[in-house]
Copies of this chain bind each other. A is one copy, B any other.
Amino acid sequence: MPNLKLNKPTESEMAILQILWEEGPSTVREVHEILSGTKESGYTTTLKLMQIMHDKGMLSRNDESKTHIYSTLIKKESVQKQVVGNMIKGLFKGSSAKLVMHALGNHRASSEEISEIKKYLDEMELTEMTKKKKNEKK
């Protein structure tokens, strides 16, 4: 039976989750193949890892055919949110702006992306203003 408590994924588990997010439902072999690109390790290691993740309730699997197909049950968004949140809290003193500028400074974005971000910021400012107006009216 699946373990109830949903612990933070370990590092190896993260690697596997990322592959499944990217590739969609996959077999152990497929995941292992990709993993091998980055990291030396045996097939049964990947297998065991994915079995453990399944036990923990992180992955579901379809075992109708001999070769099982695994899918992630963890939402990418929730992990993103958690990781980004921790980072802002721990490494950037709670300032998302600090993180943002750090990220942009070290990982140059294309000019399309830059204008997309600016548009996004404009929207944020707008909704901020309307909120203020509403409050003033009260």
Chain A interface (Cβ < 8 Å from any Cβ of B):
14-15, 18, 22, 76, 79-81, 83-85, 87-88, 90-97, 99-104, 106-111, 113-118, 120-121, 124-125, 128
A92–B99 Cα distance when bound, in Å, is: 14
Note all chain B residues with C-beta closer than 8 A to A124: 104, 108-109, 114
* Contact between chains at B91 and A113 (CB < 8 Å): no
What residues on B are CB-neighbors of A85 within 8 Å? 106-107
Q: Give the complex CA separation of A87 and B91 in angstroms.
A: 13
Q: How far is the CA of A115 from the CA of B15 in the complex (A)?
A: 36
Interchain CB contact under 8 A, B14 and A90? yes
Contacting residues, chain B, for A83 (C-beta < 8 A) = 87, 91
Number of copies: 2
User: Once the chains are docked, how many angstroms separate the CA of A50 from the CA of B85?
Assistant: 26
A111 touches B99 (CB 8 A): no
Closest to A128 in B: B111
Inside 8 A of A99's CB, which chain B residues have their CB? 84, 99, 103
Q: Is the CB of A120 within 8 A of B92?
A: no
5 further A-B pairs in the complex, CB-CB below 8 A; given A94-B107, A117-B121: A18-B91, A84-B103, A87-B87, A100-B117, A111-B125
CA distance A121 to B111 in the complex (A): 10
Distance (Å) between the CB of A108 and the closest chain B CB?
7
